[in-house]
Structure 1
């Protein structure tokens, strides 16, 4: 982890503790939101069959093979 430096001003210990708590919470949330490793299933995405594009004849072409 890279050290955090105060470049301007003189924050109180309470202000530094608050900033560090926010940075740590954001880092932990980012680690939880990281996608799981491994191959994605072809059935899980929209790559199997894309949603028809809206347009004047979308209803007619929605059942055409792709």
Structure 2
């Protein structure tokens, strides 16, 4: 076994239920060691940039260039 001291030690064996409830509330508020849930990536078909209109070429030859692939 390891020789590290315990992280929690009971000092008063005659603790009242209110004191035990306070300790439980503090430890539950601290949270666990688990990582926060990760956000799912947004699929490309539902991203906001797909809603924007593309900028069409302008100037001489713009009408012809608007039909060409980018």
Q: What TM-score does the superposition give when structure 2 sets the normalisation length?
A: 0.29
Which structure is higher in RCO with an 8 Å CA cutoff and minimum separation 6? Answer: 1
Name which one, 1 or 2, has greater alpha-carbon Rg. Answer: 2
